Chains A and B, each alone.
Chain A
Amino acid sequence: GDSVTQMEGPVTLSEEAFLTINCTYTATGYPSLFWYVQYPGEGLQLLLKATKADDKGSNKGFEATYRKETTSFHLEKGSVQVSDSAVYFCALSENTGTASKLTFGTGTRLQVML
């Protein structure tokens, strides 16, 4: 079945540092890939997405490129801020039959310090 593997956290960085959170996936077809962010006590918010190979999703300074050859969708940001502290989830959606459920990774907690 489908699966998503994320690097374990927590990831602790100083403000303005470069961020990479690794994500790889296993899927039988051609999934769409997503990054969601969850702030403390809140639900998930879509951060960015990519729907086909070589697409780059970007939002709020975050980027991720859909790499079919390495089955990866790593999240990057050039300069993190304290307000980026949250849990980040990589996910995929594969339209199999009648359902298009999301399969999530376990999440990576990011802590950004001043």
Chain B
Amino acid sequence: NAGVMQNPRHLVRRRGQEARLRCSPMKGHSHVYWYRQLPEEGLKFMVYLQKENIIDESGMPKERFSAEFPKEGPSILRIQQVVRGDSAAYFCASSQDRGRLNEQFFGPGTRLTVL
């Protein structure tokens, strides 16, 4: 039973380019969460999605960032016109249900470096 899959594991972009991060949740999980970890900091919530719906995007920057979780295929976190401050590790987690009792399982992360 595969865990949460993220790709790529490492991504290098130049300032102004687009970064596209993918997350495939665990089998049977329909809830996906994206978190960002800046160097030497804890994880910060960005967005919570269910299939085809954004449920909570309170942690997403207002500009340049977007997320989707289509009916078919992985969840995508898209960062347009990247800047150096976007360099971070981006983690995806999935859960079976949304309640506070439901464990979130984390992927290995995508480490984004903006040159």
The CA of A98 and the CA of B55, in the complex, are separated in Å by: 7
Chain A residues with Cβ below 8 Å from B43 are: 44, 89, 102, 104
Interface residue from A42, A100, A106 paired with B98 (Cβ < 8 Å): A100
Chain A residues with Cβ below 8 Å from B48 are: 99-101
Is there contact, CB below 8 Å, between B42 and A95? no
- Cβ-Cβ contact count across A and B, 8 Å cutoff: 69
Give residues of chain A (64-110) contacting chain B, Cβ–Cβ below 8 Å. Answer: 89, 93-95, 97-107
A51 within 8 A of partner (CB): yes
The CA of A94 and the CA of B45, in the complex, are separated in Å by: 13
Is there contact, CB below 8 Å, between A49 and B106? no
Chain B residues with Cβ below 8 Å from A43 are: 4, 6, 91, 106-109
Count of chain B residues near A, Cβ 8 A:
29
Interface residue from A36, A44, A93 paired with B100 (Cβ < 8 Å): A93
Is there contact, CB below 8 Å, between A99 and B55? yes
Binding site for B on A (CB under 8 A): 4, 31-32, 36, 42-46, 49, 51, 89, 93-95, 97-107
- Name 28 interchain pairs, CB-CB below 8 A, sorted by A: A4-B42, A32-B100, A36-B106, A43-B6, A43-B91, A43-B106, A43-B108, A43-B109, A44-B43, A45-B106, A46-B103, A46-B104, A49-B103, A51-B100, A93-B100, A95-B98, A95-B99, A95-B100, A98-B55, A99-B48, A99-B55, A99-B98, A101-B56, A102-B45, A102-B93, A104-B42, A104-B44, A105-B42
